[in-house]
């Protein structure tokens, strides 16, 4: 039994598999600190348990794998001046790192919405299984935040400039596109997810089972935009990328102008941070990427845009944020760099 009390995540050993079930359906399995701590503790125990050959992470929700972290709670803590504001992120990032280097095969069954913190639970596992119900996004720039939970590592390793495109736009992908960018390793029909879980539980290793259930999701719509994405989303200057989108003509012109309007509505500081993450992430180890993200979050939570973004999107729902600064042209490169170089008051993340 876990010593961390929570009713929102369940653990069981079924056959050869340790099965983790996210079970907070009313909140679309949004992560809380007790959920993070409970999973961390159980994974430590299962790593040393010879009865557990591999781990499977799944969801009890019909709609979501995990829609993210409990950002509203973090907002309220910050507004109230409560201590321990970065505790959730510190422990969440350590859990992401644990999954990345887990000593036993780890499979995530992503049969629904997977955003933010849900990506951190799934993207770093060796086996990432999605269905036609899978909906991936890292939409954090919309709330004055940034694509964390290992986004620095994941987005920087996506093909071409798709990582920069997704980081700056918060774009949503379905299963064929998720396979195209490497977020998913396998695609399986949603109707067979229960059967797949049962088969995994009697197997010593997930590899052959996943291959037996694999289906072709068809052509990836994103592939048709790759030439434009790879041409437009190049370089280190977010303002220049936005300008190229705004003047794009031809068959991609309408798409580019609509995308420019979407990016212009995001937090300019967050958009610049997200692009910088993608540019440096390829040269960082996973652990160094997580340390960098802890530096970023520690500084963002001291600023204005995160609280304004959460107010606009989740509280007042007016979708009329007042960003500071208001445009990419006004963003200070030195201020962006400070997010990556300033050591938090409690020190760098230990992973």
| 112, 117, 118, 309: the active-site residue | 117
| 111, 148, 161, 293: the active-site residue | 148
| 92, 140, 252, 308: the active-site residue | 140
Nearest to 139 by CA among 27, 29, 274: 274
Active site residue 204: no
User: Which long-range contacts (C-beta less than 8 Å, at least 24 apart) are formed by 25-28?
Assistant: 25/60, 25/61, 25/62, 25/63, 25/64, 27/67, 27/70, 28/61, 28/63, 28/64, 28/66, 28/67, 28/113
Active site residue 150: no
Task: List Cβ neighbours of 154 (8 Å cut-off, separation of 6 or more).
Answer: 119, 123, 124, 163, 183
SS3 assignment, position 330: helix
Task: List Cβ neighbours of 1 (8 Å cut-off, separation of 6 or more).
Answer: none
Active site residue 252: no
- 295 in Cβ contact with 341 (< 8 Å): yes
| 18, 68, 69, 112: the active-site residue | 69
CA angle 301, 306, 308 (to 5 degrees): 135
Active site residue 140: yes
Catalytic residues: 69, 117, 140, 148
């Amino acid at each position: 039994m876990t010593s961390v009390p929570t009713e929102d995540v369940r653990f069981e050993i079924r056959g050869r598999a340790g099965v983790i079930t996210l079970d907070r359906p009313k909140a679309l399995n949004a992560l809380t600190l007790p959920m993070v701590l409970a999973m961390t503790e159980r994974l430590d125990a299962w790593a040393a348990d010879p009865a557990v050959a591999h781990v499977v992470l799944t969801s009890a929700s019909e709609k979501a794998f995990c829609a993210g972290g409990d950002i509203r709670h973090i907002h309220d803590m910050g507004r109230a001046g409560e201590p321990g504001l970065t505790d959730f992120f510190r422990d969440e990032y350590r859990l992401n790192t644990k999954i990345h280097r887990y000593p036993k095969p780890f499979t995530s069954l992503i049969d629904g919405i997977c955003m933010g913190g849900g990506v951190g639970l799934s993207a770093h596992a060796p086996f990432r299984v999605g269905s036609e119900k899978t909906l991936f996004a890292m939409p954090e720039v919309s709330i004055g935040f940034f694509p964390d939970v290992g986004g620095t590592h994941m987005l920087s390793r996506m093909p071409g400039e798709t990582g920069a495109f997704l980081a700056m736009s918060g774009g949503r992908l379905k299963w064929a596109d998720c396979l195209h960018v490497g977020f998913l390793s396998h695609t399986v029909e949603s109707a067979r997810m229960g059967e797949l879980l049962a088969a995994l539980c009697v197997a010593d290793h997930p590899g052959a089972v996943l291959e037996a259930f694999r289906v072709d999701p068809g052509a990836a719509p994103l592939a048709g935009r790759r030439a434009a994405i790879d041409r437009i989303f190049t370089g280190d200057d977010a303002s220049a990328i936005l300008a190229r989108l705004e003047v794009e003509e031809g068959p991609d012109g309408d798409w580019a102008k609509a995308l420019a309007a979407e990016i212009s509505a995001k937090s300019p500081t967050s958009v610049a941070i997200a692009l910088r993450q993608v540019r440096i992430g390829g040269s960082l180890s996973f652990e160094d990427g997580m340390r960098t993200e802890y530096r970023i979050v520690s500084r963002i939570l001291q600023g204005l845009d995160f609280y304004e973004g959460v107010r606009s999107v989740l509280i007042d729902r007016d979708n009329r944020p007042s960003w500071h600064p208001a445009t990419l042209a006004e963003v200070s490169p030195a201020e962006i760099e400070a997010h990556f170089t300033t050591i938090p008051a409690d020190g760098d993340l230990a992973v």
